[in-house]
């Protein structure tokens, strides 16, 4: 269980997301605006991201004005320290309809470290049972999302790799809709199941006992339109913990599934601690799930762990002009 303590403790130990030189010299973030109407620096989100220099060392704040942006967006690995922000998730919508490939179908792909997403809806509108259609893919370290809506059906959120933090996000889907091998904390998030046939909220993919990865859900809420389970193991050492989480009656009494491989029952860790609601009764859970966690984990979960966010940038209060390459009301990329 020391490994799961690490999973939550790493949010306390992470360094600041600001690069050392930028933290010392930059008093304001570089501001880029995206507006479909042509009143910003760019009309497309991808064009704004492309304007950020490779190996960027300054905090860049991309403000996305309300609108529906039908784009496949990629934040490249060589462009860290970007914040992508709307002002209201209900009115700032990034949308796609790609499917069939868990890596390539994502509407938004984050490959850069130190990325922050705020007040956005990120969705993949493709709906077919058994077909992968990712809304958001994250494959980088120190990434955070606040007040976002992440919508899809199968594999909605591919939390692929790295340390991630989600707060007050609404995440919707059906089959394995939070999946991958990240080390991720979901705090006060709302998880909503949609399945017409089978619903699994998580499919965590930890492959070996040495990997410090897993999903922790803290103070979350689970609702749905159909019944489902809390998770099943994509990887043989899958790890998921739900703590202080409201579970409606959509959660089936068995709680968890071994994905047809009984050998994984002895290597996964599925924990529940002080959850409540009609779906939180552990008396009929599968016998191989962890109904009770060791005292050391309980003590850690009840501590004040606000320091876990020390590596996450706050919203800038001051801005300076964007890169010289960007011209106001630019239309060359429309």
Other C-beta atoms lying within 10 Å of the C-beta of residue 161: 17
Active-site option among 155, 159, 257, 261: 155
The answer to whether residue 258 is catalytic is no
**Section 90-114 average pLDDT:** 97
Among 31, 304, 17, smallest CA distance to 187 is for 304
| CA distances in angstroms from 27 to 15, 18, 56, 319, 322, listed in the order given | 19, 12, 16, 8, 14
User: Quick check: is 318 in a domain?
Assistant: no
The answer to whether residue 176 is catalytic is yes
User: Quick check: is 325 in a domain?
Assistant: no
Domain at 204, CATH number: 2.160.20.10
User: Quick check: is 332 in a domain?
Assistant: no
- For residue 216, what are the domain limits? 2-15+34-306
Active-site option among 114, 141, 176, 257: 176
- At 8-42, the pLDDT tens digits run 444 443 444 444 333 333 468 999 999 999 999 99
Query: Given CA atoms 84, 89, 92, 96 in this order, what sign does their dihedral have?
Result: positive
| CA distances in angstroms from 189 to 9, 60, 221, 222, 295, listed in the order given | 19, 26, 6, 9, 25
- What's the rounded Cα separation, in Å, for the pair 303 and 75? 35
User: Quick check: is 317 in a domain?
Assistant: no
Per the listing, tokens 């792909």 go with 109
- At 129-174, the pLDDT tens digits run 899 999 999 999 999 999 999 999 999 999 999 999 999 999 999 9
Domain count, the chain: 1
pTM for the predicted model, two decimal places = 0.88
Instruction: Provide the pLDDT for residue 26.
Output: 47
State yes or no: pLDDT of 234 exceeds 80.
yes
């Amino acid at each position: 269980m020391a490994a799961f303590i690490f999973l939550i403790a790493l949010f306390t130990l992470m360094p600041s997301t600001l690069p050392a030189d930028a933290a010392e010299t930059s008093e304001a973030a570089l501001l880029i605006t995206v507006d479909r109407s042509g009143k910003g620096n760019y009309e497309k989100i991808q064009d704004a991201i492309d304007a950020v220099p490779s190996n960027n060392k300054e905090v860049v704040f991309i403000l996305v004005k309300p609108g529906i942006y039908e784009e496949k967006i990629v934040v490249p690995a060589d462009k860290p320290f970007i914040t992508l922000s709307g002002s209201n998730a209900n009115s700032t919508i990034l949308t796609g309809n790609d499917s069939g490939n868990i890596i390539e179908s994502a509407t938004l792909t984050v490959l850069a470290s130190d990325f922050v997403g705020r007040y956005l809806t990120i969705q993949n509108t493709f709906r077919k049972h058994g077909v992968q259609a990712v809304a958001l893919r994250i494959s980088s370290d120190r990434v955070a999302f606040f007040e976002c809506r992440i919508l899809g059906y199968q594999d909605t959120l591919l939390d692929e790799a790295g340390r991630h933090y989600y707060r007050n996000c609404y995440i919707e889907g059906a089959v394995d809709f939070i999946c991958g091998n990240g080390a991720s904390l979901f705090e006060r998030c709302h998880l909503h199941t949609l399945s017409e046939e089978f619903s699994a909220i998580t499919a965590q993919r930890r492959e070996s006992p040495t990997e410090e990865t897993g999903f922790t859900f803290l103070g979350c809420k689970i609702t749905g339109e159909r019944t489902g389970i809390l998770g099943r193991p994509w990887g043989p050492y899958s790890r998921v913990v739900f703590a202080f989480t409201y579970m409606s009656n959509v959660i089936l009494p068995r709680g968890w599934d071994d994905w047809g491989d009984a050998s994984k029952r002895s290597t996964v860790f599925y924990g529940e601690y002080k959850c409540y609601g009609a779906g939180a009764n552990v008396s009929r859970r599968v016998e191989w799930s962890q109904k009770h966690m060791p005292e050391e984990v309980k003590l850690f979960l009840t501590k004040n762990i606000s320091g876990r966010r020390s590596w996450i940038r706050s919203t800038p209060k001051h801005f300076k002009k964007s890169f010289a390459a960007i011209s106001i009301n630019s239309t060359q990329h429309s």
